[in-house]
């Protein structure tokens, strides 16, 4: 879903004399209020099944769109509501509607341009692929009807009893695994082989398919239509997806949360079953398969999907729960301004207002996300390089390093460079640089040679033990050749000589 943000809308041209009417097939839904208490609405485009979130101002402007005359719309909004919209705000909204093709286009020249563009898109697949290579979706299934038919048969999944049973089985499975933890970890080491990787890939496909089915079934349960499911490519990386865009129609955030978390919950259920079954089966192929399924689903659900740092389910759950759409972008923007203000005293205003505690939390979240991504992207590239194909590792490394790390840093440095005249090195920065410098000095590896005592011994040794408690009187002075019959060690046993003297 897209949120209307005036700062992001492109201004195509100043609002024309007569505004083109809105498309008649668009649908408008009132959704839960924004965090600041203001009402929010969602526009649904049934053709592309895209959703756009708008606020009060945009809603009032759209409600008067039929007036067609920009001046009349502004005047009417001002007269009938507490709002006083500017020409600019109307122009931004107009540009936004144009950009997303939400306006009726009667102008034949515009229609022709649109058709030509669509044709170009179709003929020039390669160009389209390069432009869209960062994110594109390939619909494979149109499952709405199948899901409707499946739902009555599978509604027991959503019962409280099912949840309790799965929870219980999971706890038992984990407890049993803890008792033979060494077997579990050694099984993991055994799977680090080409055939093991194949096993993980199959387990991944199964887990992810069921994950998407979880989203789709839950959405169907709440009366939504799942328009399509398929494969989405994110930076050429294939991922399954379910179109649950209609979830924005649901006014109850609890239902939206249920749909968003259904995938992770499905994975956790698979993990619970597979872990228990792994404990109960004898060694063999089945046990091995269950092991793949258990490890993959645990790692996927807990480490990857629940993480709010990447754009997986955990992120969308968090951003819906906090009622902050586009959470990453907004947190990043806030953190960038805070960084510039701290370093250079720019005194820039925050991009948007948050309560102080929430503002701090968002900045910390942004930094944690950057750190997490830095570690994960480098980790993936290094792992691919070390474990699989060197060349692929290098290519991945180059793409990830460039796109996710160097480009953002470069963009930020460009801003610093452009605004270098404004930079005032405050006392705070002086201390910051000094402390950072001292810390760097402290951890800098000045010495690359380490001295320490060592002990060398021959490859083959034979330990000799005295048959009685004894004192060592003589030993060979140095290592070297010895002759036959030469006495090497002289031992005295005082206890024994005393005994002999007594006798």
Closest approach of Zn ion to the CB of residue 232, in Å:
11
- With a CB cutoff of 8 Å and minimum separation 6, the contacts of 353 are none
- Determine which residue in the list 89, 313, 320, 400 makes contact with Zn ion, applying CB under 5 A: 313
Closest approach of Zn ion to the CB of residue 167, in Å:
21
Residue 234's H or E segment, with its range, is strand 229-234
Burial class from Cβ neighbours inside 10 Å (0-12, 13-18, 19+) for residue 254 reads: exposed
Toward Zn ion, which CB reaches closer, 172 or 240? 240
- From the list 47-55, 118-126, 305-313, 476-484, the region that binds Zn ion by CB under 5 A is 305-313
Is residue 173 within the footprint of Zn ion (CB under 5 A)?
Answer: no
φ, ψ at 490 (rounded to 5°): -110, 125
Footprint on residues 432-471 left by Zn ion (CB under 5 A): none
CB-CB contact of 262 with 218 (8 Å): yes
Toward Zn ion, which CB reaches closer, 67 or 204? 204
- From the list 193-201, 307-315, 384-392, 425-433, the region that binds Zn ion by CB under 5 A is 307-315
Helices 285-298 & 253-280, crossing angle to 10 degrees?
150
- Site size with Zn ion, rule: CB under 5 A: 2
CB-CB contact of 364 with 382 (8 Å): no
Closest approach of Zn ion to the CB of residue 312, in Å:
7
Toward Zn ion, which CB reaches closer, 242 or 288? 242
- From the list 137-145, 306-314, 332-340, 482-490, the region that binds Zn ion by CB under 5 A is 306-314
Toward Zn ion, which CB reaches closer, 95 or 264? 264
Toward Zn ion, which CB reaches closer, 26 or 210? 210
Closest approach of Zn ion to the CB of residue 313, in Å:
4
Footprint on residues 261-280 left by Zn ion (CB under 5 A): 263
- From the list 30-38, 85-93, 257-265, 495-503, the region that binds Zn ion by CB under 5 A is 257-265
Residue 313's H or E segment, with its range, is helix 313-321
Q: Is 239 helix (H, G, I), strand (E, B) or coil?
A: strand
Toward Zn ion, which CB reaches closer, 85 or 263? 263
- From the list 36-44, 312-320, 330-338, 487-495, the region that binds Zn ion by CB under 5 A is 312-320
19-48 in b/e burial notation, b at 16+ Cβ within 10 A?
A: bbebbeebeeeebeebeeeeebbbbbbeee
Task: Give the other-Cβ count within 10 Å of 264's Cβ.
Answer: 22
Torsion of CA 493, 495, 497, 501, to 10 degrees: 180
Q: Which residues bind Zn ion (CB under 5 A)?
A: 263, 313
């Amino acid at each position: 879903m897209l949120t209307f943000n005036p700062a992001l809308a492109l201004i195509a041209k100043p609002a024309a004399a007569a505004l083109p009417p809105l498309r008649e097939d668009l649908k408008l839904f009132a959704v839960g209020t924004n965090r600041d208490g203001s009402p929010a609405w969602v526009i649904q485009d049934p053709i592309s099944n895209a959703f756009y979130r708008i606020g009060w101002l945009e809603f009032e402007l759209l409600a008067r769109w039929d007036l067609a005359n920009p001046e009349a719309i502004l005047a009417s909004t001002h007269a009938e509501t507490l709002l006083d919209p500017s020409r600019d705000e109307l122009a931004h909204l107009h540009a936004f509607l144009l950009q997303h093709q939400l306006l009726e286009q009667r102008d034949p020249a515009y229609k022709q341009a649109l058709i030509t563009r669509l044709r170009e898109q179709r003929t020039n697949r390669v160009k389209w692929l390069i432009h869209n290579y960062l994110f594109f979706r390939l619909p494979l299934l149109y499952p709405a009807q199948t899901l409707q038919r499946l739902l009555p048969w599978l509604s027991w999944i959503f019962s409280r009893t099912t949840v309790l049973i799965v929870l219980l089985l999971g706890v038992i499975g984990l407890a049993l695994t803890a008792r033979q933890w060494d077997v579990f970890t050694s099984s993991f080491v055994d799977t680090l082989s080409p055939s093991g990787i194949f096993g993980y890939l199959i387990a991944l496909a199964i887990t992810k398919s069921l994950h998407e089915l979880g989203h789709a079934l839950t959405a169907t349960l709440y009366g939504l239509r799942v328009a399509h499911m398929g494969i989405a490519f994110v930076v050429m990386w294939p991922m399954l997806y379910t179109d649950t865009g209609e979830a924005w129609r649901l006014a109850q955030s609890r239902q939206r949360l249920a749909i968003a978390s259904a995938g992770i919950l499905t994975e956790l259920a698979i993990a619970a079953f597979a872990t228990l079954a792994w404990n109960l089966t004898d060694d063999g192929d089945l046990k091995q398969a269950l092991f793949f399924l258990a490890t993959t689903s645990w790692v996927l659900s807990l480490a990857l999907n629940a993480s709010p740092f990447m754009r997986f389910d955990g992120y969308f759950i968090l951003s819906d729960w906090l009622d902050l759409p586009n959470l990453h972008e907004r947190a990043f923007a806030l953190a960038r301004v805070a960084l510039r203000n701290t370093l250079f005293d720019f005194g820039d205003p925050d991009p948007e207002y948050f309560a102080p505690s929430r503002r701090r939390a968002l900045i910390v979240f942004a930094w944690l996300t950057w750190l997490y991504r830095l570690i994960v992207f480098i980790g993936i590239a290094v792992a691919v390089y070390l474990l699989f194909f060197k060349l692929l590792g290098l290519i991945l490394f180059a793409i990830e390093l460039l796109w996710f790390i160097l480009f953002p840093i470069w963009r930020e440095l460009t801003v610093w460079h452009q605004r270098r005249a404004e930079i005032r090195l405050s006392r705070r920065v002086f201390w910051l640089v000094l402390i950072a410098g001292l810390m760097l000095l402290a951890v800098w590896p000045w010495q690359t040679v380490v001295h320490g005592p060592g002990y060398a011994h021959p490859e083959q040794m034979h330990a000799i033990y005295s048959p009685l408690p004894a004192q060592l009187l003589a030993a060979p002075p140095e290592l070297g050749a010895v002759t036959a019959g030469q006495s090497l060690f002289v031992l005295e046993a005082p206890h024994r000589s005393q005994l002999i003297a007594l006798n």
